[in-house]
Amino acid sequence: MSTLTNRRQFLATSAGLTVALTAPAIVRAQAAQVLNLYSSRHYDTDEALYANFTTGTGIRVNRIEAAPDALIERMRAEGANSPADVFVSVDAGRIERARELGLLAPVNSEVLASRVPASLRDPNGYWFGFSSRARVIMYNKDKVSPAELSTYEELANPKWKGRLLTRSSTAIYNQSLTGSILAANGEAATETWARGIVANMARPPRGGDTDQFRACAAGEGDLAIANTYYLGNAIRKPQPADAAVLEKIAVFFPNQGGRGTHINISGGGLCASSKNPHAAVRFLEYLVSEPAQRFLADGNDEYPVVAGVAPPATIARFGSFKPDQLNAGVFARNNALALQIMDRAGWK
């Protein structure tokens, strides 16, 4: 437990997702407290997640939702007077940007350090991942054998010319993937790879990840680069038009013989402006409790970060895999150069 919470102990029950405190009087004393959460998460299950934190602690969660970049700009404009206590976002690039701008404060928490893998948290405690997603190769089972697939790097092979679908270089998920390749292979090799990706595109990039694997199923290409949770979402909330898509599309985890598959995070940290840091740290620690991990993962078909917590059935069906152990902050800091490289390669 952190120094800020060394007198409190979280005990989450599997039935109620409640948090029991060592002294009920603490709950009564904090009944009037409000935690201001700046979040770009927008999933229905989060309502129960926050409500149960309030039930167990007496701390009400006041959620301010917006796109991640808009939240960052809002915190910058508000400065030291910002009411933000906790910032939660998707993609390590955005979370690291908040740290670089001085919007986050370090947290010294044994709970967070012990439950969040080192690769998914800032080494100095500025931010922590609470769920993760893998960026994988999705392929049309009628057109491609998994035996033909191996690594991200191999997607630049001319044998895939006219067969690859991906979204634009402006998509931060692609910037983070390219940032991880930059960390592994260096700038020159990464630019060569990016040029190969552009040469192999089945069409100019457009749409989101879901559009890529739908186009793959429709025969516009044979391979797609996408995050696992998008396909998980389609499985959990199927649309009639997607029935054929789900029959045709399979998942391949790249680089299993080497560094592992690139993963990104949904995460956050304590805001430097927080007027209520005790409550903020308690909330962050609550997010790594086992029941909260299930809510976070199930809400968007993501992987829990805490060992021993099973992923949702929607994505567990893809199988287990070896994740890249590169610290998320490294590829996040590479995003700007990654985008320059992609632009030079003609990846629009």
- What pLDDT is stored for residue 45 in this prediction? 73
Domains and CATH numbers, the chain: 3-132+265-316 (3.40.190.10), 133-261+319-344 (3.40.190.10)
Computed from CA positions of residues 149, 155, 161, 165, in that sequence, does the dihedral angle turn out positive or negative? positive
Cα separation of 271 and 265, whole Å?
18
Walk along the chain (348 residues) in steps of 10 and give the mean pLDDT of each run: 39 37 41 86 82 95 94 97 96 95 97 98 98 98 98 98 98 97 98 98 97 97 98 92 93 98 97 97 97 93 96 97 98 97 97
Cα separation of 193 and 225, whole Å?
14
Nearest to 95 by CA among 291, 344, 331, 321: 331
- What pLDDT is stored for residue 32 in this prediction? 56
- What pLDDT is stored for residue 42 in this prediction? 76
Which residues are CB-contacts of 95 (< 8 A; sequence separation ≥ 6)? 87, 89, 127, 265, 267, 268, 269, 332
Provide the angle, in degrees to the nearest 10, between the axes of the packed helices 228-236 and 209-217. 70
The number of residues in the chain equals 348
- Stated pTM of the model: 0.88
Cα separation of 117 and 119, whole Å?
5
Cα separation of 76 and 309, whole Å?
36
- What pLDDT is stored for residue 344 in this prediction? 98
**Phi, psi at 195, each rounded to 5°:** -65, -35
* Position 322, amino acid: K
- What pLDDT is stored for residue 21 in this prediction? 39
Grouping H, G, I as helix, E, B as strand and the rest as coil, residue 162 is coil
Cα separation of 347 and 156, whole Å?
13
- What pLDDT is stored for residue 44 in this prediction? 73
Cα separation of 146 and 66, whole Å?
39
Q: CB–CB of 242/250 below 8 Å? A: no
Cα separation of 27 and 21, whole Å?
7
Q: CB–CB of 148/160 below 8 Å? A: no
- What pLDDT is stored for residue 41 in this prediction? 85
Cα separation of 97 and 86, whole Å?
15
* Position 62, amino acid: N
Buried b (16+ CB within 10 A) or exposed e, 210-224: bbbbbbbbeebbbbb
* Position 346, amino acid: G
